[in-house]
Amino acid sequence: MNIGAHVRGGGTLIPSLDAGVAIGATSIQVFVQSPRMWKPSQYAPAVLEAYREAQRDHPSITDTFCHATYLINLATADPELYEKSVAALTHNLRVGRAMGASGVILHVGSHKGAGFDEVVDQVVGAFARAMDDAGATDTRCPILIENAAGAGGTVGRSLEEIEALLEASGNDERLGICLDTQHLFASGVDYATPSAARRLIRDVEQRIGVERLRCLHLNDSKTAFGSNRDRHANIGEGEIGEAGLAALVGHPKVRELPLLLEVPGDGDGPRGEDVVAARAVVERGVALYRRGGAKSMETK
């Protein structure tokens, strides 16, 4: 299994690898600029090259993911905000590619009540501009669309919406997805049993393609099922619980993906004990499928 965590990047980025090791993570997620400021962080080419080499040669951290700034809204009706959002995504993607990241995870934004169908072409156009301007001519560091919890007209609140975005993009291979367990739960998606988790993964396969699923955000929830509120809790301390998470993260097509913790810890992000708790949940989930016998085969 590959239990990752969101960690602080730091000026030279390389300390983020050490931060991951310190808590026992085997993959990491970082911001490459302040998540709540437009001003981009500037990195010298030598810094990005040094990180790429350190990541490539690292003995235990297998993947680095970048999370794009939260300010981005590709579905906005405000032309100025739209242009700033495209520029920010382009910068995040350019840095992610230069540092050898495995993907840039993105909250698409909100249409603010205009309706999903009204913004599809605008969002897809932003994807294409950012990827082209960042020099993303291959699939090494895709934009990973993260499913939303569902509040406030957010785009990507269901697999159907993500499928529509991918189809409108011509199924551009430079796009993938990241599923967040708290967002799924908050948007009313059941995965608490092996049968429910299998249905969810089949839906991913049929609508999107499981090969586009590059990682998961592994989080418990402070809010109730179907609440449409984005509030993360430590594993086993929320409304989902260890039993509710186990079936999904133990699924044969999920368990080896990078599972990235975005939990509060004791207020400063994931801790070593959170990584231990996550590993225990995956082990619990794997055991569910072993007990399930043939019904738990990957083809089911």
Question: pLDDT per position in the chain (300 positions), as tens?
Answer: 999 999 987 788 999 999 999 999 999 999 999 888 899 999 999 999 999 999 999 999 999 999 999 999 999 999 999 999 999 999 999 999 999 999 999 999 999 999 999 999 999 999 999 999 999 999 999 999 999 998 889 999 999 999 999 999 999 999 999 999 999 999 999 999 999 999 999 999 999 999 999 999 999 999 999 999 999 999 999 999 999 999 999 999 999 999 999 999 999 999 999 999 999 999 999 999 997 653 544 434
CA distance 165 to 43: 31
Backbone angles phi, psi at 121, to 5 degrees: -65, -35
pLDDT score of 10: 73
Residue among 231, 202, 189 at smallest CA distance from 299: 202
CA angle 185, 107, 32 (to 5 degrees): 125
pLDDT recorded at residue 35 = 87
φ and ψ at residue 35, rounded to 5 degrees: -70, -15
Q: What is the pLDDT of residue 293?
A: 52
Which CATH architecture fits 2-269+281-293? Alpha-Beta Barrel (3.20)
